[in-house]
Amino acid sequence: MEKPFFKNLIKIEPYTAGEQPKGGDIIKLNANENPYPPSPAVQEAISGFDAEQLRLYPPMDAAPLRQAVADFYGVDRSCVFAGNGSDDVLAAAFRAFFNSDKPLLYPDITYSFYPVWCDLLRIPYETIPVDEGFNVRVEDYCRENGGIVLPNPNAPTTIGLGLDRIEYLISSNRESVVIIDEAYADFSGVSCVPLIKKYDNLVVTQTFSKSRSLAGMRVAAAIADPYLISCLDAVKDSYNSYPMDAVAIRAGAAAIADREYFEQTCRRVIATRERTAKRLRELGFILPDSSANFLFATHPGHSAEKIFTYLRERGIYIRYFRKPRIDNYLRITIGTDEQMDRLIEELERLLGR
Ligand SMILES: *Cc1c(COP(=O)(O)O)cnc(C)c1O
């Protein structure tokens, strides 16, 4: 018989992340991680960390990290919030900003964590279909809503919008908060951070997991008008005053201070991306131009699921989503040139070239 308290337990379908396979000779292209290590300054910060300091609570509000983010973007520190990965920052933002009875809007094809937070926090939402080419049409978001969240570039489609489109979206929705999730913006060169000075309803989230090679450290930030930042702080201080540990604060600050290493790493990833996209097209794949550190590809002659399984059996992990509209597409993270060569070799074998 069902236990009486069962009816009061949470019923939610959680987010499923890419597999984290263990083992030596695998090529992991399934979680959009960076193939290069973080800045050497991060290693120094960690090695130089004095464990004695762990006796104390970490700096209030992750202040050294917030300051480093503010310096990088040329904004005031009161415009910066920091958190334990952007999943933590976004969850706080959903709680802080989306308390309307009107629906939150986001694309039908996008980051699959958004519906999970909506279910968890009981936020009403509506998805807006992207067009046949997977493009987000910002005009479709000019309607009554309780908020908007949009990744730019979008995931998993890799398609980025220009700043003029993003500004149109924000300026047409002054009654609600618009979150632009810039997890991949460092690979497109288009960031709307400068617009926070003009629009007090804009929140930009950034993560250190992709372009700064710190997925394992859990570091991210939000940049917005100080009033919105104070709302994020209120949420944070209502569930966990110290979500960021002392080591992550130090390492994150060191990572963002090293602009040169960061720019160099992004350039390498972008060069490999362009080279890989060209080779995939030569093999008959169809893919949009990517503004991110991954590709989104389909092959007219071979099912995505079959290609995914074939590669997996050969130790190459990519991502396949069994979801409407995109179940014949593959999401392939950009690795090193050598890793992408291995991928292309295996695909050539499969496709019989
Ligand atoms: C990876 C990703 C995030 C979250 O990254 P964190 O590791 O939690 O910082 C957020 N949004 C999108 C679109 C992502 O792809």
Q: Has residue 284 been placed in a domain?
A: yes
- CB 329 near ligand 1, within 6 Å: no
Determine if the peptide bond prior to 153 is cis (ω within 30°): yes
Using pLDDT thresholds of 50, 70 and 90, give the confidence band for residue 315. very high
Q: How far is ligand 1, taken at its centre, from the CA of residue 152, in Å?
A: 12
Over residues 272-288, the mean pLDDT reads 98
Q: Has residue 9 been placed in a domain?
A: no
Instruction: For ligand 1, pick from 30, 90, 111 the residue to mutate: most ligand atoms within 8 Å of CB.
Output: 111
Determine contact, residues 272/335, Cβ cutoff 8 Å.
Answer: yes
Say whether both 196 and 84 belong to one domain: yes
Class of residue 335 by CB neighbours under 10 A (exposed 0-12, middle 13-18, buried 19+): buried
**Could you identify the residue written with the tokens 């039908």?**
108
Determine contact, residues 248/217, Cβ cutoff 8 Å.
Answer: yes
- CB 72 near ligand 1, within 6 Å: no
Percentage of residues of the chain with pLDDT beyond 70? 99
Q: Distance between the two ends of the chain, CA-based, in angstroms?
A: 59
Q: What is the pTM of this model?
A: 0.96
Using pLDDT thresholds of 50, 70 and 90, give the confidence band for residue 201. very high
Q: Has residue 7 been placed in a domain?
A: no
- CB 209 near ligand 1, within 6 Å: yes
Say whether both 167 and 236 belong to one domain: yes
Instruction: For ligand 1, pick from 209, 214, 256 the residue to mutate: most ligand atoms within 8 Å of CB.
Output: 209
Residue 26's domain spans which residues? 20-38+260-351
Say whether both 153 and 208 belong to one domain: yes
Which ligand 1 atom is nearest residue 210's CA?
1
Q: What is the pLDDT of residues 87-106, one digit of tens each?
A: 999 999 999 999 999 999 99
- CB 225 near ligand 1, within 6 Å: no
Say whether both 216 and 249 belong to one domain: yes
Say whether both 104 and 221 belong to one domain: yes
Give the end of a domain, one of 257, 278, 302: 257
**What pLDDT, on a 0 to 100 scale, did the predictor assign at position 298?**
98
Give the end of a domain, one of 223, 257, 291: 257
C-alpha–C-alpha distance, residues 58 and 241, integer Å = 10
Nearest CA to ligand 1 atom 15: 183
- CB 156 near ligand 1, within 6 Å: no
Say whether both 337 and 217 belong to one domain: no
